[in-house]
Structure 1
């Protein structure tokens, strides 16, 4: 017996989305042998929307975490604003740094000597960036002073020695207390030209920032020693400034320029890393568009599934119309049928995506154990661990987008069913 015949007592004036309409839509969604192929299409539509929404949430969360971790580490180690001299060497760096530290919004101003060198040991060598800082300053940098994995920074200014990253230590095969040789082309001038400067330093401390590039290239040494090593006559290259709010650097720059102790050229982290973060933003937007297509394809599957369902139920629709059901009733029945697939699939994908994003590190560890391989190689992806930060505004946008596409996909098949002529449909059936 057809569904229409089973509901012969349906009143002609059903209210919008009445119980009869929900009951009929529910029966259309159930699997039957005769309508098995329609149910298969509906199942794939459900899976497509669920996986599309979940993938969007997971990928966007990982991209957000990737950007947040990179921003925190790049800005947290390199500073937010950089002040370099204009007219003469920065030999009054102590007074300049002290005055800058009093500017509202600035929490730390670090005089810095920077130079490139070759670090070598008995087992290997590696290009490094040597940074000369004061003991109080290196301890005040959270990603350095708070991430010492071996040795100590106590007595950093008074005893010879350097602090290096864990990856550099592993690459050179050295530990705390071992010697590391630094080779710099900026050595002493001789009648035959400039001779390279070669000097061995004991490793006093090993830190781990969690970013491959920094842990494998940074070498910190006392400021006075760096000045002597790089032939700096009591001056520094730059003063790095750390502010309270990295997104508010322009206001701090304006305050520095209004009360600068001497002529300085100012730049900030946005200018130095503009191309890098722009590339991340472009990649993030392109990924969103590509993954949205997955949801769109799943929504189009709803269209094909409902069209096949309408064709299969042509006789039932005709009988309902002859019994007094309005076009609006038929329209709402198929709207509920299609929308149910989209709504349930969207919220299933929402739950799956949020759970996966919140537990991505545990899931990655389990996959590593199952496959016996390191699926997240920090030497390739810059960060030690896979990051994930859920932006609930983005999650809401993804859910609303999926619901909208799903609901729009049901309109044409439902309208097609409502426009069926009962007489013609019975003749065809």
Structure 2
């Protein structure tokens, strides 16, 4: 058999993409002096794809981190369920918490006394939420217990002071050891003219930093019994056998005759799976040995906020995908110009035996390679930026002297980032798919060239 008979015509190969097609596509990707303009357009298209992919990865990672961090902060301080007692006052809070913690799916529960007051310091005043908790329950909340920047929660139950967030301390103009005056208009002494506001001062024993502006600016903690005494969450009842009390009894005798029964405001319940609130609500409601509660879950409390975050993620993904779409259109334009410039080469290849399919595959390889290189570059760049988002934010803010992502607006004191492998895969597949689809029309146009017409005047 002759040598010419053994060789297949150009472009005729049993493989989907032959070495011949890859070789021609690689030659078209390499720049020559007279083709510099087309090469520049291809390079800019590659950069556009890379920027689009990197931007999508970074933005989606930051939004995932923002949601995860908010969820961690909110559910690290407030439970997955808040249980408010009904039918009777919450005096059996210790027994109720022990019973709740025996329920399958419940990690732990805490009880607390809570009220709203006006707090005043040397530098100003503001409304705050005071929450009374004992040391046993505080230790169940590591987010709070380990957040003390000044002072601490040691010997908390014997403490005569309060714990406040560092932003609240800045607002009030106080530091460790300074006095904070709190005013409650509802629990003062009764007079002929109505109740008088109750005013007390407490020293600051702890300043904590939870990393969430709302919590660091709003919450004040004090020992449980101190909060119960301040908000008058107790009832004085006669001890058994003391039904009759001498009207002339001294104050000491009266105090000895009465027993003070304290009560809590509500309880927070923390469960294994935060998304299983529906199942856990039903499980808690069917237990007959638990006192009646009104249960409010975290999804109800934050429904509007997290729904807005979800909508924002979808909208941002859609809008930023347009960057990749624009880059894909640039692939079309650069390939159209390349096809126009290579019309003579296409005609020569056709006369040498290259099929229309081979011509189409050559230009598909050329355009898709631009998209693949751009996508991989954007993937690496996006992952690097997403992993160092907070470092970059701090560097830019310090260099320019401008507050990027101010915590007063974005609730968090640092820029979080959490890369989701599934979302990264979707972005990469989207970029590659758009890059490939963008090559189809120019490649089809190249395959339609008539070699006779192209070479007629040569």
When normalised by structure 2's length, the TM-score is 0.88
Partner of 1:237: 265
CA–CA distance in structure 2, aligned partners of residues 91 and 115 of structure 1: 17
State the shift of 1:91 in Å.
Answer: 2.1
State the shift of 1:332 in Å.
Answer: 0.9
CA–CA distance in structure 1, aligned partners of residues 291 and 391 of structure 2: 52
1:362-377 to structure 2, matched below 5 A, reads 362-377=391-406
Q: Does 1:279 align with 2:308?
A: yes
Task: Give unpaired runs (5+ residues) of structure 1.
Answer: 1-8
Q: Does the aligned pair in 2 maintain the 1:62–1:387 contact within 8 Å? A: yes
Tell me the alpha carbon deviations over residues 360-387 of structure 1, each in whole angstroms, 9 at most, x when there is no partner.
2222232233223332422221111110
CA–CA distance in structure 2, aligned partners of residues 63 and 129 of structure 1: 29
CA–CA distance in structure 1, aligned partners of residues 178 and 96 of structure 2: 36
Partner of 1:6: none
Partner of 1:423: 452
Partner of 1:354: 383
Tell me the alpha carbon deviations over residues 112-165 of structure 1, each in whole angstroms, 9 at most, x when there is no partner.
222211211111112211111122111221111111111122232223211111
Q: Does the aligned pair in 1 maintain the 2:368–2:439 contact within 8 Å? A: yes
Identify which of 332, 338, 351 aligns with 1:309: 338
What secondary structure, in the 3-state scheme, does the structure 2 residue paired with 1:114 have?
A: strand
Distance change in 2, residues 1:117/1:322 (3 Å): same
Q: Does the aligned pair in 1 maintain the 2:183–2:200 contact within 8 Å? A: yes
What secondary structure, in the 3-state scheme, does the structure 2 residue paired with 1:325 have?
A: coil
Q: Does the aligned pair in 1 maintain the 2:11–2:18 contact within 8 Å? A: no
Partner of 2:407: 378
Distance change in 2, residues 1:428/1:56 (3 Å): farther
Task: Give unpaired runs (5+ residues) of structure 2.
Answer: 1-7, 235-261
Q: Does the aligned pair in 2 maintain the 1:139–1:153 contact within 8 Å? A: no
CA–CA distance in structure 1, aligned partners of residues 183 and 26 of structure 2: 76
Q: Does the aligned pair in 1 maintain the 2:10–2:20 contact within 8 Å? A: no
Q: Does 1:253 align with 2:254?
A: no
Tell me the alpha carbon deviations over residues 87-111 of structure 1, each in whole angstroms, 9 at most, x when there is no partner.
2222221211121122222232212
When normalised by structure 1's length, the TM-score is 0.94
1:88-127 to structure 2, matched below 5 A, reads 88-127=88-127
Identify which of 361, 364, 368 aligns with 1:335: 364
Aligned length: 421
Q: Does 1:413 align with 2:419?
A: no
1:27-176 to structure 2, matched below 5 A, reads 27-176=27-176
Q: Does 1:192 align with 2:200?
A: no
What secondary structure, in the 3-state scheme, does the structure 2 residue paired with 1:140 have?
A: coil
CA–CA distance in structure 2, aligned partners of residues 241 and 343 of structure 1: 50
State the shift of 1:194 in Å.
Answer: 2.8
State the shift of 1:428 in Å.
Answer: 7.0
- Which has the higher mean CA deviation after the structures are superposed, 236-245 or 27-36? 27-36
